Amino acid sequence: MKFEVQENESISECLDRMQKEGYTPIKRMEKPIFKEQITNGSASYEPVSRKIIFEAIKK
């Protein structure tokens, strides 16, 4: 099962939510979120935030 840290949620709150549902985290993944910037006709990508996802197994 995968749990994503919500926008207004801390990592510890996400871990608490996982434990309440009976899951234990086994892996943490971070995916960057990029924003496209077009300057003089060329596109560049800048990281603006990240998405944190925990992979978990049932206790």
Q: Indicate the average pLDDT of the chain.
A: 94
Domain boundaries, the chain: 2-58
pLDDT digits (tens, 9 = 90+) for 10-34: 999 999 999 999 999 999 999 999 9
For the residues 51-56, what does the mean pLDDT come to? 96
For the residues 35-55, what does the mean pLDDT come to? 91
pTM for the full predicted model: 0.77
- Give the pLDDT confidence score for residue 59 in this predicted structure: 87
- Give the pLDDT confidence score for residue 13 in this predicted structure: 96
In sequence order, the 6+-apart residues with CB closer than 8 A to the CB of 55 are 1, 2, 25, 26, 27, 28, 29
For the residues 41-46, what does the mean pLDDT come to? 89
Do 9 and 35 touch, CB atoms closer than 8 A?
no
